[in-house]
Amino acid sequence: MRSPLRDLFDFERPETPGERLFFWLFELFVVLALSGHAWSWAVYLGRMEAPLYPTGLARYLDVSLLMEPGVALGVAAVVTVLLLLGLTHRWPLAYLLALLGLHLLYVSRFSLGKTPHGTHLLGLTLLSLALGSLLFRTPLHRRRAAMGFTFFFVGLSYTLAALSKLVATGPGWADGMHLTLWILEKGTDMMARTGAWTPNPVQQLLLAHPELSTVLLAGALLLELLAFTVWWRPFRLPVLLALVGMHAGIYAAMQISFHFAAIELLLLALPWSRWLDRLLQVQWAARIGRPLLRLAQWCNA
């Protein structure tokens, strides 16, 4: 198998207008999504009194300051400005500083004992954008590096997730009874919150047939183990779409949403650049696309 470096970065390949426009729209999605998370975490922090179970950076820094009135909102405002500044590529450090601010908000918001990971893929993508801005100066190299690092981290993170499961539990992680337990735990949470819980059709099927759960868990584990294959272009479409399907299955079975991760995987999987190139050749679409393309070129000048 050939080295993945060419498929990840491919600096020599000419760039099309559709690629430039897609990159800017993808980058805009990441910036807006993370800005929204920053404000959401900041608003929640305003209702907290103290961290109960510090995690990550919060184990070494006192994050209780962010729970003072208005402090977290100020951090969210600074993060938003840095993200927008990073979008213009006028200051190479902007994305990296925004990432640090977001991480500070994240570890403060989730210092209550339960740490979700639905935004980790967005965070790794922001790290990829930061690396592209810091390591490269020409717009083409910056864009190719950012996308290459993004695919690298997508593959690495899902494969490491599978290895972590195997290290912690072994192949027995795929036992269907585990999924039965997780579904019932989510049902208990729902009953505590609303006073009632009725399993949906997917949950009813899995509860009635643990052997089907075993097949699904084994398939998901194998898919995560093979996620590193997105480093090679031919495998990206099937693997990324399969990961989207896995997240849809997680939501159907356990009501755990990874919608931002699923949206990003769809953006990375489908040939949006080629579709945009074709669309830009259509007269009515070109009237809209050309101003956006000029804006994208200004941001990446």
CA distance 107 to 91: 26
Which is it for the CA torsion 136, 139, 145, 146, positive or negative?
positive
Residue found by looking up tokens 């690495």 in the block: 156
The H-assigned helical ranges of 170-280 are 176-194, 201-208, 210-225, 233-254, 259-269, 272-280
Predicted confidence (pLDDT) per residue in 157-184, tens digit: 999 999 999 999 999 999 999 999 999 9
Query: Strand, coil or helix: what is 97?
Result: helix
pTM exceeding 0.75: yes
Predicted confidence (pLDDT) per residue in 5-63, tens digit: 888 998 888 889 889 999 999 999 999 999 999 999 999 998 887 787 887 788 888 88
Average predicted confidence (pLDDT) for the chain:
90
Of the listed ranges 44-53, 66-75, 142-151, 225-234, the one predicted with least confidence: 44-53
For residue 176, the one-letter residue type is G
What percent of the chain is helix, strand and coil (3-state, nearest 5)? 80, 0, 20
For residue 113, the one-letter residue type is G
Q: What is the pLDDT of residue 3?
A: 78
Report residue 148 CA to chain centroid gap: 15
Nearest to 66 by CA among 46, 37, 52: 46
pLDDT above 80: residue 299? no
The H or E element that residue 109 is part of is: helix 94-109
Nearest to 246 by CA among 196, 170, 179: 179
Torsion of CA 236, 134, 77, 294, to 10 degrees: -70
Decide if 183 contacts 202 (C-beta within 8 A).
Answer: no
* Class of residue 118 by CB neighbours under 10 A (exposed 0-12, middle 13-18, buried 19+): middle
